Amino acid sequence: MVGAGISTPSGIPDFRSPGSGLYSNLRQYDLPYPEAIFELTFFFHNPKPFFTLAKELNPGHYRPNAAHYFLRLLHEKGLLLRLYTQNIDGLERASGIPASKLVEAHGSFASATCTVCRRPSPGEGFWADVMADRIPRCPVCTGIVKPDIVFFGEPLPQRFLLHVVDFPMADLLLILGTSLEVEPFASLSEAVRSSVPRLLINRDLVGSLAWSPRSQDVVQLGDVVQGVEMLVELLGWTAELQDLIQREMGKLGGRDG
């Protein structure tokens, strides 16, 4: 289970870190309150703030970091049952984790839908408008096209229901870079069997690991990349992870995330 904290090392602000989090830096959007940027009623009233944010978050601008590539390495080793992410930045896909192993619980920018006639909209047209500061509109009915990001109050993608099978099967739960503030995602942290260890790697102690700790919980507080690198070292996978990152960075042709 991961959240925005695994993408801050890639340069994407999280939501709730005091000062640096997105919700502390929305003053220029003139919102009634920060979360309005992800609310449908506000979006239909004024879609500009969301699309300005979308332009900033444009997936092409960022690269995965060691936390993403650690999760990719787990997959390569046949140890990743599923990765549940709240992130909409697409960095899990960019790290090479196959869609079959991913549940993007809060959606992603990978697809977009007309808010009026519900026609799917091709990504390239959508991004051309967003990057040119135009509100993307449906070519058929001229309704506003919204990326398939889950706004507050909207249903989560069907794939989220995989948790009903996955979590009872898991024999280890990793929780990386999330405040565990948003439901129903946060409750997944309680969905593993009581005998299953839960490892939290996060700047602060959060969610049920704070208010309902279990005997098998392990908590590594601090920077998520440092915490992951300590775990990788203990596993003896440091060289493998570095090789993977070098190979993938070469493919992405980008600076080290």
Which residues participate in catalysis according to the annotation?
Answer: 106
Examine residue 86 and tell whether it contacts ligand APR (CB under 6 A).
yes
Rounded CA separation 16/202 (Å): 13
Closer Cβ to ligand APR, 96 or 177, answer by number: 177
Kindly tell me which residue out of 65, 121, 189, 202 binds ligand APR, with binding defined by CB under 6 A. 202
For 169, phi then psi, to 5°, come to -85, -20
Rounded CA separation 89/109 (Å): 7
Closer Cβ to ligand APR, 196 or 219, answer by number: 219
The alpha helices in the chain, defined as continuous H runs, are 40-45, 48-56, 66-76, 91-94, 123-131, 163-169, 207-211, 224-235, 238-252
User: How far apart, in Å, are the Cα atoms of 160 and each of 74, 101, 185?
Assistant: 21, 12, 9
Residue 185: CB minimum distance to ligand APR, A: 7
Residue 157: CB minimum distance to ligand APR, A: 13
Closer Cβ to ligand APR, 86 or 108, answer by number: 86
Q: Which of residues 3-62 bind ligand APR (CB under 6 A)?
A: 3-5, 8-9, 14-17, 21
Pairing relationship of beta strands 107-114 and 120-121 according to DSSP bridges = antiparallel
Q: Which of residues 167-196 bind ligand APR (CB under 6 A)?
A: 177-179, 181-182
Rounded CA separation 162/1 (Å): 13
- Which residues form the interface with ligand APR (CB under 6 A)? 3-5, 8-9, 14-17, 21, 86, 106, 177-179, 181-182, 202-204, 206, 223-224
